[in-house]
Amino acid sequence: MLNAPHPSVHETADVAGSAVIATTARVWHYAQVREDAKLGENVVVGRGAYIGTGVEVGDSCKIQNYALVYEPAKLARGVFIGPAAVLTNDRFPRAINADGTPKSADDWHPVGVDVREGASIGASATCIAPVVIGRWALVGSGAVVVKDVPDFALVVGSPARRVGWVGTTGHPLKEDSPGEWLCPVTGARYREVSDDELIEVQ
């Protein structure tokens, strides 16, 4: 439970009393953290960002300025959400029902974006729920994600499509031999099992 004042929550931030914020988390100017949201250790929430009701943010995540993370999104450990990125939650968005009455909370069922360990969402990218962003995947800036992204995949465009693979450093992998990939930074090796599956070789 948030203790007031929290040493690392800026005074202009709007944080619900039921939000659970780790003592090492930081919430910057004008950010909003809604009811029952959970922020893990060493999480950083940038200026003007929005964290929806009940959203779970794992340890060491970084959510940049003005990103919008709508419930029921789940962010695993070490996820990066770039500036102005959006994680949606409504498959069929409408302000009103077919009969002209305003939509209420009972008129739709929110669906979330599940971002797995170490994945990164680039600036101004949009992830259309429900989708899964795989482990250590990289979504390019401005991309529009409409289907699941495999582990280690590099996706760009609208709709997003895979154009390569990345390692845990985020750097594009180099094909060393057919189906075998190498990280130019760490030397880690990966094997392409199929067009949409890459595994790290132990």
CATH of the domain at 30: 2.160.10.10
Instruction: Please indicate, yes or no, if residue 79 is contained in any of the structural domains.
Output: yes
HSE at residue 158, side-chain half, CA atoms within 13 A, is: 9
117-137 per-position pLDDT tens digit: 999 999 999 999 999 999 999
Instruction: Please indicate, yes or no, if residue 137 is contained in any of the structural domains.
Output: yes
Taking residues 57-86, report their average pLDDT: 98
Instruction: Please indicate, yes or no, if residue 111 is contained in any of the structural domains.
Output: yes
Instruction: Please indicate, yes or no, if residue 62 is contained in any of the structural domains.
Output: yes
95-109 per-position pLDDT tens digit: 999 999 999 988 889
Instruction: Please indicate, yes or no, if residue 185 is contained in any of the structural domains.
Output: no
Total residues found in the chain within this entry: 202
Instruction: Please indicate, yes or no, if residue 200 is contained in any of the structural domains.
Output: no
Q: What is the dihedral of CA 147, 140, 40, 29, to 10 degrees?
A: -120
Number of domains in the chain: 1
Instruction: Please indicate, yes or no, if residue 84 is contained in any of the structural domains.
Output: yes
Residue ranges making up the domain that contains 113: 14-95+106-168
Instruction: Please indicate, yes or no, if residue 193 is contained in any of the structural domains.
Output: no
Residue 3 has pLDDT above 50, yes or no: no
